[in-house]
Amino acid sequence: MIRRGTRRSPRGPERRPEGAKMAALSGRARGALWVALLALCGTVLALLAVVLARTYAPRSPSPAPELWARRSRQQRLEPTFSPQERRELKEALQGAIRMQTVSFSANDQNTTALAEFEPYIRKAFPAVFSAAFIKHEVIGEYSHLFTIQGSNAQLQPYMLLAHIDVVPASPDGWDVSDPFSAEERDGFIYGRGTLDNKNSVMGILHALEFLLRRNYRPHRSFYIGLGHDEEVGGRKGAMKIVAELESRGIQLSFVLDEGSFIFDGIVTGIEKPVASIGITEKGAITANFTVTSEPGHSSAPPKRTSIGILSEALAKLEQHPMPNLFGHGPEILMFEQLAPDFSFPLNVIMSNLWLFGPLVGRFLEQTPTTNALVRTTTAITMFHAGVKSNVIPPSANATVNFRIHSSQTVDEVLGIVDKTIDDKRVKIEMESAFDPLPVSPWDDQTFGVQVFRQTIQDVFPDVGSVAPGICVGNTDSRHFVNLTNAIYRFNPVIFKPEDLPRFHGLNERISIEGYEKQVQFIFQLIQNSDISQSTEPHANHEL
């Protein structure tokens, strides 16, 4: 008999309790899901709040030191130059460009032109060479050291650096007839050295000349160092100047050299020009790579030739770039400080590098300029092999130039190179090597930083941020580490993307207006350095 209600379907009775269990369970699961969802929303909202707070938090403008604030306009000489003075500025720079002070190598420099440079500057800057409180010395035959004795010996001196020598330039590919003609075209002076670095050599001396002609006597002492072999390492120039100053027991308040610019349009997403002041510079290795093999007749070649083996090793270096180290060095400071200058949404990203750092690192490595900021770069710069088309060459040789990221050392880079090439047939010899330079202080209490901020504001009011930067090349200032911990690299010139290939390349040029601004900057910098700072060391700096 089949009783109603007791009939068991094969699944029914078992299913009901299971279903109830499931329903109860899914009720709990749903609850848990809601809790998780709410927690997630809370976390996302909290993250968003942090991200927005970091993006839009008011940044306190760097306080101008009280002394500058109180100084009346009358006390300060305005950086305005007469038409006659402006002509003089331009012609003096042109004359300097025409002197072919080329450095080919450490042992091959145009010493005739270097020697002619001294009478040239003597004639161009009569007030500098005749002032009773300025001492001029020739160092290492062709370099120059000027000591400007300020009226207040209590103030710690600073130093301005520039270099007279230039890299070679052949006329091929230039728009003007000759890279040493200093031709004026469309408001620009063309020529080797217009940006690197006779603009600074002549700009510093001319600013001082104009101040002296207006009877200005600096309060704070300072030095001007003009090296003659910066492009080949600075051993005979800058290093000798340093040895001289060290022997006199000098300590400097700051050193200012070339090495960075006011960048305009160099970084995607930043509209305004930004001043980047190099607080460090990369290390460097120049290494020679050699492979030797049995020479012989090309009709019966061995399986591998020295050229093939070396090429493979070099290709490995190019195919396996050094690691992206964005966030491990001072480049992070640079982007943190530039964050407000980026347009939306990049400003949000740059203000939150704690979250978006890896993404930004990938973004920066896309162009050679910003790639140089995030890693040790590898550049194969020379390759020599072979003597004749039917001779198996006995050797192949290449030179590779590495520029080392702040967070790496020479030894670490060499370790990676060895591992990457992994071929005992490739011999590596070091030509020169040094670690990245120490990082100079960057805060509003540091005297040099105060002076630069104030002077940029005076002369370039349209500049957005004044940010700490990295000098991706090397400068004479790297030899000055025993004289100060405050070394800065900054050329007060607007630098646009089209200027990049001109640097050490074709059609190097400076606009006449840009050069006048550079002279104004130094004119103001000397005056702005004449305040005393509260943290001034109490020492007598009789020079």
Question: Which residues have a catalytic role annotated?
Answer: 165, 230
Instruction: Judge whether 312 is annotated as a binding position.
Output: no
The nearer residue to Zn ion, 226 or 416, going by C-beta atoms, is 226
Instruction: Select from 165, 183, 196, 476 the one that contacts Zn ion (CB under 5 A).
Output: 196
Strands (E), 435-478: 466-471
Instruction: Judge whether 504 is annotated as a binding position.
Output: yes
Per the structure block, which two tokens stand in for 123? 């004639």
Instruction: Judge whether 444 is annotated as a binding position.
Output: no
Task: Determine, following the binding rule CB under 5 A, whether residue 183 of this chain makes contact with Zn ion.
Answer: no
The nearer residue to ligand LD2E54VC, 183 or 196, going by C-beta atoms, is 196
Q: Is 289 exposed, middle or buried (0-12, 13-18, 19+ CB in 10 A)?
A: buried
Q: Which residues contact 182 (CB under 8 A, 6 or more apart)?
A: 93, 94, 95, 97, 98, 189, 190, 191, 194
What whole-number distance in Å separates Cα of residue 30 and Cα of residue 374? Answer: 47
The nearer residue to Zn ion, 197 or 253, going by C-beta atoms, is 197
471 binding partner (options ligand LD2E54VC, Zn ion, none; Cβ < 5 to 8 Å by kind): ligand LD2E54VC
56 binding partner (options ligand LD2E54VC, Zn ion, none; Cβ < 5 to 8 Å by kind): none
225 binding partner (options ligand LD2E54VC, Zn ion, none; Cβ < 5 to 8 Å by kind): none
**Rounded least distance, CB 421 to ligand LD2E54VC, Å:** 24
Closest residue by Cα to residue 421 from 465, 480, 380: 380
Instruction: Judge whether 196 is annotated as a binding position.
Output: yes
**Rounded least distance, CB 166 to Zn ion, Å:** 7
168 binding partner (options Zn ion, ligand LD2E54VC, none; Cβ < 5 to 8 Å by kind): none
Task: Give yes or no for a contact between 327 and 361, defined as CB atoms under 8 angstroms apart.
Answer: yes
What whole-number distance in Å separates Cα of residue 426 and Cα of residue 400? Answer: 13
Task: Give yes or no for a contact between 479 and 239, defined as CB atoms under 8 angstroms apart.
Answer: yes
The nearer residue to ligand LD2E54VC, 370 or 524, going by C-beta atoms, is 370
Q: What angle do CA 375, 377, 380 make, to 5 degrees?
A: 165
Per the structure block, which two tokens stand in for 525? 């910098």
Choose the binding region for Zn ion from 193-201, 304-312, 406-414, 438-446 (rule: CB under 5 A).
193-201
Pairing of strands 377-385, 395-404: antiparallel
Task: Determine, following the binding rule CB under 5 A, whether residue 197 of this chain makes contact with Zn ion.
Answer: yes
**Rounded least distance, CB 113 to ligand LD2E54VC, Å:** 19
Residue 193 carries which side chain, given as an amino acid letter? G
**Rounded least distance, CB 282 to ligand LD2E54VC, Å:** 9
The nearer residue to Zn ion, 258 or 458, going by C-beta atoms, is 258
Binding site for ligand LD2E54VC (CB under 6 A): 196, 231, 258-259, 263, 266-267, 274, 276, 369, 469, 471-475, 500, 503
**Rounded least distance, CB 195 to Zn ion, Å:** 8
Angstrom distances, CA of residue 377 to CA of 142, 211, 285, 316, 470: 33, 42, 10, 14, 14
Task: Determine, following the binding rule CB under 5 A, whether residue 257 of this chain makes contact with Zn ion.
Answer: no
Q: Can you tell me which residue has the tokens 């089209």?
A: 498
Give residue number: closest CB to ligand LD2E54VC.
473
Instruction: Judge whether 163 is annotated as a binding position.
Output: yes
Q: What angle do CA 329, 335, 339 make, to 5 degrees?
A: 155
The nearer residue to ligand LD2E54VC, 474 or 520, going by C-beta atoms, is 474
Closest residue by Cα to residue 306 from 398, 216, 406, 232: 398
Closest residue by Cα to residue 378 from 406, 348, 414, 332: 414
Numbered residues of the known binding site for Zn(2+): 163, 196, 231, 257, 504
Numbered residues of the known binding site: 163, 196, 231, 257, 504
The site for Zn ion (CB under 5 A) is made up of 196-197, 258
